[in-house]
Amino acid sequence: MAQPIKKTIAVLGSTGSIGKQALEIVQANPDRLQVEVLTAQNNADLLIEQAIAFEPNAVVVGEEKYAYVKDALQKHDIKVYAGADALCQVVQMETVDMVLAAIVGFAGLRSTLAAIEAGKPVALANKETLVVAGALVTSLAKEKGVNIYPVDSEHSAIFQCLAGEFHNKIEKIYLTASGGPFRGKDKTFLSTVTKADALKHPNWKMGEKITIDSATMMNKGLEIIEAAWLFSLKPEQIDVIIHPQSIIHSLVQFEDGSLKAQMGLPDMKLPIQYALFYPQRMPSSFKRFDFASYPSLTFEKPDMSTFPSISLAYEALRKGGNMPCVLNAANEVAVSAFLNGGIGFNDIPTIVEKCMQQVHYIDKPTLQEYIDTDIDTRKEASSLAKKKIRA
Ligand code: NDP
Ligand code: MG
């Protein structure tokens, strides 16, 4: 019997929550997947450990950790590079079949664009890439004939619901949200919450930034914009529904009124694996759903006034241009200021809103204009955050 073809992958952000789970999938499918590239920013020790275990062709690390990683891997046949330009180069290597984009934030944009430019299919976890520059990313993917496979669980759910629907139009989609740790709370309560409270997500274990985004509901806001680009939807075709059990990962409503949902236990390995192996569903040992453990699945409307981030994301999507880029940069800065103990939880959406009012609007930005918008917004958001700390 012929051997199955091995796919070589570049795992960008291999030391993160998504990256580590992707490597578990590689471990479980050694005859189907091979790691060609691993990358990290600061976590040099884990990157070294992963490199020794997976023997990639190359690793990329943040510049400050270059000498340390180079030294640790000198006896291994693994190339060591550093910095953002190197990230863009390694994804374009001829030996890379697919790129898993799992860097967090704006920092993932250039390497994702570089992968698409080189014609590499992308399994996309880094939602900020589509939020910041969805027009640029999707038009380049179209031009290069590159497929983008969603890793985000909601978007993977929509993608799975669309299998076999060919030209059947989407009437609308429902993105489900757990509601995060503060579901049902009011603004007064939120003004007192700490970093530790906000990092306690009820259903998912994820990186810190996305966990805070889930608590503010900005994660759902970013996902609205991500969905608009992935599935060519207008803002009014995207709805958010709170589903605290996180079993239904999202739904598509078609023009005949029929709804299709994708369900399963909350486990990111499933959407990661689906993206890596699409269109094949690989057998897995992931825990199976047990109906008796979930006698009721419940749904409620999101509380947009306590959690204004969803409305801000709709506004950014409707305005278009560089506005989602402003939303994203302001949010990244505000989340990091909250995590560093500087600002309160309710300050996060306030800073985002102020930046959206203050930063210069550009209708059809170039890549350079997105980069400039990101820099300008970060300055503005940092100065707003500093004022909050002093206040
Ligand atoms: P983590 O914070 O856990 O990991 C981020 C990864 O990116 C790490 O490998 C980190 O390296 C690397 N990184 C951070 N900053 C930079 C930088 N400036 N340049 C290069 N690499 C960098 O994040 P997650 O894995 O949780 O999330 C990754 C992406 O996937 C995010 O966009 C998130 O929204 C999305 N996502 C995540 C989900 C989840 O369950 N975690 C679910 C759905 C989407 P180092 O470790 O060295 O700092
Ligand atoms: Mg998600």
pLDDT digits (tens, 9 = 90+) for 65-87: 999 999 999 999 999 999 999 99
In short, whether 50's Cβ falls inside 6 Å of ligand 1 is no
Per-residue pLDDT tens for 220-272? 999 999 999 999 999 999 999 999 999 999 999 999 999 999 999 999 999 99
In short, whether 120's Cβ falls inside 6 Å of ligand 1 is no
The H-or-E segment that residue 382 falls in is: helix 367-390
Three-state DSSP at 8 gives strand
In short, whether 104's Cβ falls inside 6 Å of ligand 1 is yes
| Å from CA of 17 to ligand 1 middle | 7
CATH number at residue 114: 3.40.50.720
146, 120 in Cβ contact below 8 A? Answer: yes
* Torsion-angle region of 215 (φ positive above 0: left; ψ -120 to 50: alpha; else: beta): alpha
Residues 359, 388 within the same domain: yes
Residues 237, 313 within the same domain: yes
**Which residue CA neighbors atom 26 of ligand 1 most closely?**
207
Residues 212, 127 within the same domain: no
Residues 145, 203 within the same domain: no
- pLDDT of the residue at 391: 64
Per-residue pLDDT tens for 325-384? 999 999 999 999 999 988 999 999 999 999 999 999 999 999 999 999 999 999 999 999
Domain span at residue 104 reads 7-150
- Top mutation candidate among 11, 41, 131 for ligand 1, by most atoms within 8 Å of CB: 41
How many helices (H) and strands (E) the chain has is answered by 16, 11
Which residues are close to ligand 2, an ion, with C-beta < 5 A? Answer: 152-154
Decide if pLDDT at 274 tops 80: yes
Residues 158, 114 within the same domain: no
Of 318, 338, 368, the position where a domain reaches its end is 318
- pLDDT of the residue at 3: 73
Measure the CA angle with vertex 152, ends 149 and 155; round to 5°: 70
Q: Which residue has the tokens 């299998």?
A: 163
Residues 117, 170 within the same domain: no
Distance CA 48, CA 70 (A): 9
**Which residue CA neighbors atom 39 of ligand 1 most closely?**
206
Residues 159, 205 within the same domain: yes
Q: Fill in the DSSP letter of residue 341.
A: T
Residues 201, 312 within the same domain: yes
Count other C-beta atoms under 10 Å from residue 3's C-beta.
Answer: 7
Query: What value does the mean pLDDT of the chain take?
Result: 97
Residues 293, 337 within the same domain: no
Number of domains in the chain: 3
Of 119, 150, 181, the position where a domain reaches its end is 150
Of all ligands present, the nearest one to the C-alpha of 224 is 2
Determine, yes or no, domain membership for 21.
yes
Residues 251, 271 within the same domain: yes
- pLDDT of the residue at 388: 84
Tell me the CA distances in angstroms from 215 to 57, 201, 259, 309, one per residue in order. 38, 8, 28, 10
47, 69 in Cβ contact below 8 A? Answer: yes
Distance CA 212, CA 201 (A): 9
Distance CA 47, CA 38 (A): 7
Tell me the CA distances in angstroms from 85 to 18, 73, 119, one per residue in order. 22, 21, 18
| Å from CA of 198 to ligand 2 middle | 17
Per-residue pLDDT tens for 14-69? 999 999 999 999 999 999 999 999 999 999 999 999 999 999 999 999 999 999 99
Residues 236, 344 within the same domain: no
| Å from CA of 333 to ligand 1 middle | 15
Of 289, 318, 347, the position where a domain reaches its end is 318
154, 249 in Cβ contact below 8 A? Answer: yes
Helix axes 218-230, 208-216, angle to 10 degrees: 100
CATH number at residue 373: 1.10.1740.10
Side-chain-facing half-sphere of 64: CA atoms under 13 Å? 3
Residues 171, 43 within the same domain: no
